[in-house]
Amino acid sequence: MTAAENVCYTLINVASDSEPPSEVSLKADLEKGEIKAKTEALKKVIIMILNGEKLPGLLMTIIRFVLPLHDHTIKKLLLVFWEIVPKTTPDGKLLQEMILVCDAYRKDLQHPNEFIRGSTLRFLCKLKESELLEPLMPAIRACLEHRHSYVRRNAVLAIYTIYRNFEHLIPDAPELIHDFLVNEKDASCKRNAFMMLIHADQDRALDYLSTCIDQVHTFGDILQLVIVELIYKVCHANPSERARFIRCIYNLLQSSSPAVKYEAAGTLVTLSSAPTAIKAAAQCYIDLIIKESDNNVKLIVLDRLIELKEHPTHERVLQDLVMDILRVLSTPDLEVRKKTLQLALDLVSSRNVEELVIVLKKEVIKTNNVTEHEDTDKYRQLLVRTLHSCSVRFPDMAANVIPVLMEFLSDTNEAAAADVLEFVREAIQRFDNLRPLIIEKMLEVFHAIKTVKIYRGALWILGEYCCTKDDIQSVMTEVRRSLGEIPIVENEIKKETGEVKPEDEVSAAPAQKLVTEMGTYVTQSALSSSRPSKKEEDRPPLRGFLMDGDFYVAASLATTLTKVALRYVAIVQDKKKQNSFVAEAMLFMVTVLHLGKSSLPKKPITDDDVDRISLCLKVLSECSPLMNDIFNKECRKSLSHMLTVRLEEEKLSQKKESEKRNVTVQADDPISFMQLTAKNEMTSKEDQFQLSLLAAMGNTQRKEAADPLASKLNKVTQLTGFSDPVYAEAYVHVNQYDIVLDVLVVNQTSDTLQNCTLELATLGDLKLVEKPSPLTLAPHDFANIKANVKVASTENGIIFGNIVYDVSGAASDRNCVVLSDIHIDIMDYIQPASCTDAEFRQMWAEFEWENKVTVNTNITDLNDYLQHILKSTNMKCLTPEKALSGFCGFMAANLYARSIFGEDALANVSIEKPIHLGPEAPVNGHIRIRAKSQGMALSLGDKINLSQKKANA
C-alpha cells in the first residue's frame, strides 16, 4: 500500500499561498504565547507535519506547554496532532515521550466534561499502537457506565475498534457489549453496540434480536437499519433462518422511517419470491415514491420497481398494482413521470387497460387547464404517446381515446399536436369502424388548427378518408372558410388600398352568406376589421399561411382537392354538379397559384409547388382512370404498407425483449436447492449492502471482457523506455466522473532513489485532484503510485508529466525522466442510445457544432463500412435494418449516442460506392457529426479519422 492509499480520518484545507513559518518562531509561540497564539501555532505545526515536515524538536515543547491547557479548542487540535505525529523511533519502538501523552489521555477519559471524554474516545479509535492503548483500557471500560449517551456510544466504538485491531487487550468485548446492550435505553448507543456484535460475534447479536424481535417496530430508525442488515446477512449465509426473521422484515415495512422501509423492501425481495412478499415490497416502494419529496429518491425507488418488473413471475404481481403506480404522476418532475408512464405501459394488460386509459385521459385534460410551462407541453406529449401505444395494443380503447386527443390538434405546441396527428392517421387507417367519428371530430377542430405542419396533415387525412357526399362537401366548406374571399390577390390589393369596407365585403358576395345574425360563417373574421393593425391576425388560417409564403401547404391543398373532386365525380351522377364541384376546386388552385406568382406573399412560391398544383389542375381537367387509381388507391396502400412494417418492427423488438427476460433452463442443467447449498458456495452471491456501499464510493465494478486480465492489459500504457533509470507504466481505469491512474514505478539502477515524485499535468477538460506523495525506492525496487484525475465533459484529454528523483549520496541536481503522453479515449464515456426521428431532427437543428469528416478507407462494402463505424464510435444506428438492406450504390444512415455526462452526439453517414471505378473501389462520401459542445464534435471526428486509418493499414 502506498502513502497515498493510507487510511485518512481527518481532512484539512490548507491555504496554498501561506508561507511556512520557522521552527524557532513556532517554539516561541507555543511556549510563551497567549491561548490564541498557541492555537494558531498548533494549527501551523499540524499543517507542516501533514506536508511531510518532521519537527521532532517541538514534541516535548507541546507536551510541556500545550498539553496541560484546559481550552477546548486546544484539546481538539491536540487530538488531530497526536493522530498524525510520528509516535515511533526509526527502528519501530515507541517514543519515551508518548508515556506522558498516554497519562494525559487517561486523565481526559476521567474528565467531568462529557464532550472531552467523548472526543478522546473517538480519537482512540484512530490509534494503531497497542502499547499506548493498554494503560487506558480500565478507563475506557468505565466510560460504558457514564451518565451521558455521547460518552457511552463513543466508548462502544472505541471498544469495537480496539477489539478488531488488538483482540488481546479486551478479549471479553462481545460479552461486555452484549450485557451493555441488554440494559441500554439510548437508541444511538444501542445501534453502535448492535453494530459491533454483528461484526464481532454474530451469534450474540442473533440471540439479542431473538429476545426482542416483537419490539423491533418500537426501536429507533438507526437501530432498525442495522437489524435489517443483520437479517439480510444471516439469511443470505444460512437460508434455513429465513422463516425465523421474515415476519420481522414484514413488520419493518410499516416503519415510520423511509430509509428503513426502503432497505426492508429490498431485503424482503431477496429473501422471498412469494407473490405476497413481492406485492408488499412493491406497495412499500410505491408509498415511498409518493410520500418522498426528493426527486432523486423517487427515481432511485422507481428503478427498483423496474428491476422487479424484469423478473417474469414478479411482473404478474406488479400488473395488479398499475393503478397505484399511476399515483406517482402527481409528481411535477418530468423525468419521474416519464419513467412512471413507461413502467405502467410495460405492465398494462387487458384487465387494467380501461382504468389506465381513464386515468391518462384525466391527466391529459388536466394539462389543458394549467398555466403553460415547458414541461407541461412535454408531459402532454408523453401522455399522448402512451395513449397511442395503448390504443395500438388494445384496439377497443381507441374509441374512448380519440375524442379527447382530437382537441389537441389545435394546440399551440406543435410537437404534441404532431403526436396526436400521427396517432389519428394510424387509427383511421387501422380501425374502419372509427372513421366516421374521426372525420366528424376532425371537421370540428379543423378551423382552430394554428400550425401549418398540423394543417397539412389534417388536410391529407380529410382528403384521403372523406368518402361520402356530405363529408366531401363539408371539406369544401372548410377550405372555402379557410381561404377567405377569392380571388385572393384582388381582395388583398383592395384591402391594402382601403377600397373595401367590411360592409361592402359582406354585401359583395351574397351567394356565400359570409355573415349572418347567428354567425354561421365566420369568414368575416378576415374581412370585418377596418383597422389595418389587426389585418394580419384576422386573416383565415390558410390565407395567413399563404401570405407568409408557406406554399408547401398549397401543394398539399391541391392534392386534397384533387382527391375529393375525383371521389365526388365517382359518387354523384349529376354532370352539372360534377362540373360545378371540379370547377370550384380548380378555382381554389388557380387563385393560390396566382397569389404565389404575385409580390404579395413574404416569399414567392417554389417551382416544386407550382409543378404539383399544375399537375393537379391537369388531372382534374382530364379525369383519367389511371390518375384516379394513383390518387385514391396507391396513396393509401403506401401508408398501409408503412404502418404494417412499423408494427412488425415493434413486435420483433418486443419479442426480443421477452426472450431476454425469459430464463431458459437446459434439460441437463443442475438444480440448485437452497437447503443443500454449501456455505462457501453461498458467498458467491452478491451482497447488496456491499454493492450499494461500493456504488456510493464510486467503485462500481464494470463487467469486464470474458478474460478480465486480458481486458486490463489492453489499458496499460508504457510511459518510459526499458533503458531509462526509472521504468514506468500506467493502468488507466475510467470511472464515471474520474480516471484513476495506477502507475508502476521501477528503479532500474543500483542506487537508492530519494524523493521520487510523479509530476503530472493535464490538457483538455481534466483536472488533477491531488499531487502524488514522494517515495523512496531501494535499488531495483518498485512501487505503485495512484493518481486521480477528475473529468468534466466528453472530449479527448491528454495527461503528460515526468518523474523526478534524487540519487542518495550524489551532489548533483535532481534527475528527471520525461513520460510519454497518456491519451484518454473518448469511447470510455460514450454509450449507444436511441431517440425518435422527431427528436433527432430537433437536436440536429439545435446543435451548433458540426464536424464534417471525409470518408477515407479501403473498405469496399457500404454495410461493412457502416458496421465498422458503429463499432469504432460506440454509436447506435437509428435507421431501420430494412431501410439499409439491399444494394443501390449509396447509403444514408443516422447514428446517435449519449455520453455518461448526458451530452448527445448525432452523426449522419452519407456514403456511396463509385461503381464506374470497378468492384474493388473503396467507399467514399462524408460523415457529418453534430454536438452541443465543440470538444465532443471534434473528438468524435478524430476518433472516426483514426479508425479509418486503422482500417486502411
Question: For 474-511, what is each residue's pLDDT tens digit?
Answer: 888 888 887 777 777 777 777 777 665 544 443 333 33
Q: How far is CA 642 from CA 188, 517, 925, in A?
A: 66, 48, 29
**Secondary structure (DSSP) of 16-80:** TTPPPPPHHHHHHHHHHS-HHHHHHHHHHHHHHHHTT---TTHHHHHHHHTTT---HHHHHHHHH
CA 715, CA 355: separation in Å to the nearest integer?
54
Tell me the pTM: 0.67
The whole-number pLDDT of residue 478 equals 83
The whole-number pLDDT of residue 508 equals 34
> How confident is the model over 384-411, as a mean pLDDT?
78
Q: Can you tell me which residue has the cell 410499516? A: 254
The whole-number pLDDT of residue 907 equals 92
Instruction: Provide the pLDDT confidence category of residue 1 given band limits of 50, 70 and 90.
Output: very low
CA Rg value for the chain = 39
Q: 169-210 pLDDT, tens per residue? A: 888 888 888 888 888 888 888 888 888 888 888 888 888 887
Statement: residue 746 has pLDDT above 90:
yes
> How confident is the model over 714-720, as a mean pLDDT?
84
Question: What are the sequence ranges of the domains in the chain?
Answer: 348-446, 459-495+540-636, 714-824, 828-950
The Cβ-side half-sphere exposure at 100, using a 13 Å CA radius, reads 13
The whole-number pLDDT of residue 953 equals 42
Statement: residue 336 has pLDDT above 70:
yes
CATH of the domain spanning 828-950, picked from 3.90.1150.10, 3.20.20.150, 3.40.50.11540, 3.30.310.10 = 3.30.310.10
Q: 876-892 pLDDT, tens per residue? A: 888 887 777 777 778 89
Q: 630-670 pLDDT, tens per residue? A: 776 777 777 777 777 777 777 776 666 666 555 556 666 67
Apex 419 CA angle, 418 and 425, nearest 5: 85
CA 563, CA 551: separation in Å to the nearest integer?
19
Q: Which helix (H) or strand (E) holds 906?
A: strand 904-912
Q: Can you tell me which residue has the cell 460514450? A: 830
CATH architecture of the domain with range 714-824: Sandwich (2.60)
Name the packing angle between helices 202-211 and 242-252 (round to 10°): 60
The amino acid sitting at 182 is V
The reply to whether 828-950 shares the fold of 714-824 is: no
Question: What grid cell was written down for 817?
Answer: 525522466
Mark residue 151 as left, alpha or beta (left: phi above 0; alpha: psi -120 to 50; beta: remaining). alpha
CA 694, CA 393: separation in Å to the nearest integer?
41
CB-CB contact of 907 with 895 (8 Å): yes
Q: 404-439 pLDDT, tens per residue? A: 777 777 766 677 778 788 888 888 887 778 788 888
The whole-number pLDDT of residue 930 equals 92
The whole-number pLDDT of residue 619 equals 83
> How confident is the model over 715-721, as a mean pLDDT?
87
Statement: residue 69 has pLDDT above 50:
yes
The whole-number pLDDT of residue 584 equals 85
Show Cβ contacts of residue 647 under 8 Å, excluding neighbours closer than 6 positions. Answer: 392
The whole-number pLDDT of residue 500 equals 54
The whole-number pLDDT of residue 726 equals 92
Average pLDDT in the chain: 78
Higher per-residue pLDDT: 766 or 135: 135
Instruction: Provide the pLDDT confidence category of residue 676 given band limits of 50, 70 and 90.
Output: low
> How confident is the model over 709-719, as a mean pLDDT?
72
The whole-number pLDDT of residue 531 equals 39
DSSP reduced 3-state for 616: helix
CB-CB contact of 864 with 909 (8 Å): no
Q: How far is CA 104 from CA 74, 128, 411, 511, 645, in A?
A: 14, 18, 78, 111, 84
> How confident is the model over 470-476, as a mean pLDDT?
83
Show Cβ contacts of residue 620 under 8 Å, excluding neighbours closer than 6 positions. Answer: 561, 562, 565, 566, 582, 585, 586
